[in-house]
């Protein structure tokens, strides 16, 4: 009986496992059916949209072509009218002259016949008057009438090669692609932004430029955010926890037209944007507080972030931008760009304890000590990035144990890597900057 009960339990367990496997199998099949439905929907919707685009485009072409042909016809007809009027005018003048001569000849004939058949007593006087009049009119002088070969004979020259050219161009005009040559590949969250990456999926397509567009999911129109040859771009001024739609297309080498758009995808960031602390006298901030300008104030100090918004595992970027003039401010050895554990307003630089930074001359400081390795100087357009990762936590890190962070500072395609030892583990860090002279303008993201 015990063996039978065990066998029954085993069979029941196997049956339950089979039921669960069948249930999972059904869920997977249903998921694949939904995938097929979405694929079929995408094909049909894109085919309908493509038909609409093609019909609209060719209807526009037909309307434009008809308009151009009508304009050309009107121009040629006006040219015919002008030639006709210009050519007829001298003939009309010649006709008036001949008709006047005919009228004069008729009048002279009547006067001559009257003189010949008149009374004998007045005949000599009339004949004399008629003869003088005839000599005055110069009956042997006739107006010249142009021959037919000397007057215009209008005709139209219509070259049938235009139809051949149009036919060849029309038959090559437009293409239908089964899929776009580039697609969006990855979205990486950034504080107040999204790093968008895309890739080429058509091996035969040779891209020259890419074009990235985005819009809020509630907006109706996309807008350009990047055009260039790179395959990634950081889109800034993104509101946290808001969905944005992105799409990308490309332009082939030597071509003017853009490829079809990629399938729109949704990107979002949950990270609040980096902001500088307002109110420090020596710095002016942009409306979004992500750009700081060292102004003409004599006040000096460190401008910190509004909150400790930099987390290990992220990339912090400082970019030097122009401040309305073509040069940056005068450098000073106490200038600094970097991160720190806490705000300390008693210092005029980040070259202090519990901070790592780079000076505008490229010197790197760790806890106030200058390293032997040096990076290129910070100039107009320079980008400085900080990357950190935790490599060691002390046994009592939650209560103030040791913490070691591996720091990578990059500037102008060069980098230094070192370990930063702290006496306590920090979940997040402040960033800051200090400049002794005006003109420096820094964007942080």
Model confidence pLDDT, tens digit, residues 175-200: 887 889 999 999 999 988 999 999 99
Does any domain span residue 4? no
Q: In degrees, to the nearest 5, what angle opens at C-alpha 93 toward C-alphas 143 and 138?
A: 30
Question: Is the domain of 43 the same as that of 119?
Answer: yes
Q: Which domain holds residue 90?
A: 13-172
Query: What is the CATH number for 194?
Result: 2.60.40.10
DSSP sequence for 17-31: HHHHHHHHHHHHHHH
Residue 187's nearest CA partner among 195, 175, 178, 179 is 195
- Residue 121: what pLDDT? 61
Does any domain span residue 102? yes
Does any domain span residue 342? yes
- Total domain count, the chain: 3
What residues of the chain score a pLDDT lower than 70?
A: 118-123, 139-140, 322-328, 393-401
CA gap 376, 364 in Å, rounded:
10
Question: Is the domain of 227 the same as that of 359?
Answer: no
For residues 414-438, one letter each, b for 16 or more C-beta atoms within 10 angstroms of the residue's C-beta and e for the rest, the string is eebeeebebeebbeebbbbbbbbeb
Question: Is the domain of 211 the same as that of 302?
Answer: no
> Does residue 181 contact residue 210 with C-beta atoms inside 8 Å?
no
CA gap 221, 47 in Å, rounded:
21
Backbone angles phi, psi at 419, to 5 degrees: -100, 130
Query: What is the CATH number for 374?
Result: 2.60.120.920
Q: How far is CA 325 from CA 6, 30, 328, 349, 380, in A?
A: 87, 62, 8, 25, 10
Question: Is the domain of 372 the same as that of 401?
Answer: yes
Q: How far is CA 398 from CA 9, 285, 395, in A?
A: 49, 36, 9
Does any domain span residue 439? yes
Question: Is the domain of 152 the same as that of 200?
Answer: no
> Does residue 374 contact residue 333 with C-beta atoms inside 8 Å?
no
Does any domain span residue 354? yes
Question: Is the domain of 168 the same as that of 248?
Answer: no
* pLDDT tens digits for range 268-305: 999 889 999 998 989 999 998 999 999 988 888 899 99
CA gap 220, 237 in Å, rounded:
18
- In SS3 terms, 30-55 reads as HHHHHHHHHHHHHHHHHHHHHHHHHH
Residue 305's nearest CA partner among 343, 272, 357 is 343
Among residues 172, 206, 234, the one where a domain terminates is 172
CA gap 317, 167 in Å, rounded:
55
- Residue 393: what pLDDT? 66
Q: How far is CA 290 from CA 275, 304, 306, 431, in A?
A: 5, 11, 10, 12
- Residue 148: what pLDDT? 85
- Residue 122: what pLDDT? 66
Does any domain span residue 8? no
- Residue 399: what pLDDT? 45
CA gap 343, 80 in Å, rounded:
86
Question: Is the domain of 204 the same as that of 163?
Answer: no
Question: Is the domain of 69 the same as that of 131?
Answer: yes
Does any domain span residue 55? yes
Sign of the CA dihedral with 257 first, then 262, 264, and 269 last: negative
- Residue 337: what pLDDT? 95
% pLDDT > 90, the chain: 54
Question: Is the domain of 293 the same as that of 399?
Answer: yes
> Does residue 441 contact residue 322 with C-beta atoms inside 8 Å?
yes
Among residues 210, 235, 267, the one where a domain terminates is 267
Question: Is the domain of 227 the same as that of 349?
Answer: no
Q: How many CA atoms lie within 13 A of 431 on its CB side?
A: 27
- Residue 364: what pLDDT? 96
Say if residue 377 is exposed, middle or buried (CB neighbours under 10 Å; 0-12, 13-18, 19+): middle
- Residue 114: what pLDDT? 78
pTM over 0.85: no
Question: Is the domain of 210 the same as that of 167?
Answer: no
- Residue 388: what pLDDT? 93
Question: Is the domain of 229 the same as that of 294?
Answer: no
Among residues 232, 267, 302, the one where a domain terminates is 267
CA gap 439, 325 in Å, rounded:
8
Does any domain span residue 273? no
Sign of the CA dihedral with 301 first, then 305, 311, and 316 last: negative
Q: Which residues touch 275 (CB under 8 Å, ≥6 apart)?
A: 288, 289, 290, 305, 306, 307, 309
């Amino acid at each position: 009986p015990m063996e039978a009960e065990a066998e029954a339990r085993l069979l029941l367990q196997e049956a339950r496992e089979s039921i669960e496997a069948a249930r999972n199998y059904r869920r997977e099949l249903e998921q694949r059916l939904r995938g097929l439905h979405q694929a079929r929907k995408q094909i049909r919707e894109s085919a309908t949209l493509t038909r609409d685009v093609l019909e609209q485009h060719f209807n526009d072409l037909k309307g434009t072509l008809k308009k151009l042909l009508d304009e050309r016809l009107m121009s040629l007809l006006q040219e015919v009218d002008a030639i006709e009027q210009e050519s007829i005018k001298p003939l009309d003048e010649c006709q008036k002259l001949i008709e006047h001569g005919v009228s004069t000849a008729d009048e002279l004939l009547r006067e001559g016949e009257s003189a010949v058949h008149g009374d004998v007593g007045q005949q000599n006087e009339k004949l004399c008057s008629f003869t003088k009049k005839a000599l005055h009119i110069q009956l042997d002088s006739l107006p010249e009438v142009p021959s037919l070969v000397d007057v215009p004979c209008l005709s139209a020259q219509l070259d049938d090669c235009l139809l051949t050219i149009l036919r060849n161009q029309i038959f090559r005009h437009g293409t239908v692609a089964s899929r776009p040559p580039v697609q969006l590949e990855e979205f990486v969250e950034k504080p107040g932004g999204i790093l968008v990456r895309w890739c080429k999926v058509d091996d035969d397509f040779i891209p020259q430029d890419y074009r990235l567009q985005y819009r809020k999911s509630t907006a109706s129109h996309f807008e350009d955010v990047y055009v260039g040859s790179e395959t990634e771009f950081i889109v800034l001024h993104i509101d946290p926890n808001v969905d944005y739609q992105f799409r990308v297309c490309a332009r082939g080498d030597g071509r003017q037209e853009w490829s079809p758009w990629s399938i729109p995808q949704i990107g979002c960031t949950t990270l609040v944007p980096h902001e500088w602390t307002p109110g420090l006298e020596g710095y002016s901030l942009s409306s979004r507080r992500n750009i700081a300008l060292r102004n003409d104030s004599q006040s000096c100090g460190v401008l910190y972030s509004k909150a400790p918004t930099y987390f290990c595992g992220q990339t912090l970027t400082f970019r030097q931008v122009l401040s309305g003039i073509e040069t940056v401010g005068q450098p000073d050895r106490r200038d600094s760009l970097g991160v720190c554990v806490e705000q300390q307003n008693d210092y005029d630089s980040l070259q202090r304890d519990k901070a790592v930074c780079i000076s505008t001359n490229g010197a790197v400081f760790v806890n106030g000590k200058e390293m032997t390795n040096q990076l290129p100087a910070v100039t107009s357009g320079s980008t400085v990035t900080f990357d950190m990762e935790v490599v060691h936590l002390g046994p009592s890190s939650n209560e103030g144990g040791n913490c070691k962070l591996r720091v990578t500072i990059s500037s102008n395609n060069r980098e230094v890597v070192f370990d930063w030892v702290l006496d306590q583990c920090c979940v997040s860090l402040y960033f800051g900057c200090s400049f002794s002279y005006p003109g420096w303008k820094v964007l942080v993201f």
